Amino acid sequence: MSLRPRAHIHLANIADNWRILQAAQTNGVTAAAIKADAYGHGLPQVADALHEAGCDHFFVAHSHEAEVTRATLGSHPNIYVLNGPSPDEEALYRENALIPVINSSFQFRTMADWLVDGIKMPRGYVLHFDTGMNRLGLPPKDAHDLAEAGAAQDPILIMSHLACSEDSDAMMNGHQLETLKTISNAFPDTPMSLSNSGGVWLGPDYHFTLTRPGIALYGGGHPPEGADLKPGMTLEAPILQVRQIEAGDTVGYGATWRATEPRLIATLAIGYGDGFPRSASSKGFASLGGKRCPMVGRVSMDLITIDVTEAAELARPGVYAQLIGPDAPLEEQAALAGTIGYELTTGLTPRVKRIYES
């Protein structure tokens, strides 16, 4: 029996989540963000499952992620590289039919150099405009100039990225929407894309031609009531040892947690070396047979201690406790650790064994 922590990756759930998001898309199609190893779930496996479900548009951050996606899925789907092209990557983009997302004047000039002698990009390119994030993106004031400068090959998509989509009341959402509509005047026949996961739930005005959900595919984010997303992952770790402690005893580094009465403590084979955050110390929980067992003491590199007093009949070496999954919701666990679901899943290291389930 292995004593490694393990993550069951529920590919059917991820595919079902994509179908729910596609059903919510009123005007066009639903893409999939599979960057960062599909948010820690495994890029090749997730890409293949989503493609089988009908997804034809995939967004990654880096060109090497795009290469893996192309090798996995073959020639059919469109693969977009969000961080854009480097001048030395022309052959890579052409050979793999990748779609560069142009974020700056430097990247626009880079791509323009690739279009000399009328040799167009195989799948075209995307212009990304900054409508308020102030992170990546072209200035909206340059839209008309870029439309004229792109005469050698028109963009296949104009996109921007919502900064506050998880907050449906945020004024920034409406501001970004109106800014993108203004930009669209310079590209009257070009499809538009604005919505990430949160944007999908903002309604039809935000959907445009293509939505680009990420965390929602994996069961995370904050969907509205009735959008029954399923967990993409169940993270578990085995119990190594169970011990009885007495009132006044402390647990873990720094003796930060002290028992006020006799308690039963179990030690799990997982820690921040596996990607479970130290910030969850004495705040997070594990589930044992559906019973919540609070984390006590500090999360260390390889071990977490939990109070299993209320689940004593289940606590024994070799039994697996759940840290993310149906009994330990991703966003709740993340909030207790002072972070977000994205960081919990993308932060899991290779020490966590992935088990893929269709």
Domain shared by 157 and 289, yes or no:
no
What DSSP designation does 187 have?
S
Count up the domains in the chain and report the number.
2
Question: How does pLDDT run along the chain (358 residues), one tens digit per residue?
Answer: 689 999 999 999 999 999 999 999 988 999 999 999 999 999 999 999 999 999 999 999 999 999 999 999 999 999 999 999 999 999 999 999 999 999 999 999 999 999 988 899 999 999 999 999 999 999 999 999 999 988 789 999 999 999 999 999 999 999 999 999 999 999 999 999 999 999 999 999 999 999 999 999 999 999 998 899 999 999 999 999 999 999 999 999 999 999 999 999 999 999 999 999 999 999 999 999 999 999 999 999 999 999 999 999 999 999 999 999 999 999 999 999 999 999 999 999 999 999 999 9
Domain shared by 51 and 143, yes or no:
yes
Residues with Cβ < 8 Å from 221, sequence gap 6 or more?
166, 197, 198, 215, 229, 331, 341
C-beta atoms surrounding 350 within 10 Å: 8
Q: Domain range holding 328?
A: 233-357
Rounded (5°) CA angle 266-271-9: 100
Residue 19 lies in a domain: no
Distances (CA, A) of 268 to 224, 254, 281, 336: 34, 18, 13, 18
CATH number, domain with residue 344: 2.40.37.10
Domain shared by 241 and 341, yes or no:
yes
Distance CA 297, CA 307 (A): 10
Residue 20 lies in a domain: no
Distance CA 207, CA 17 (A): 17
Domain shared by 127 and 249, yes or no:
no
Residue 6 lies in a domain: no
- Which tokens sit at 338? 């002072």
Active-site residue list? 35, 253
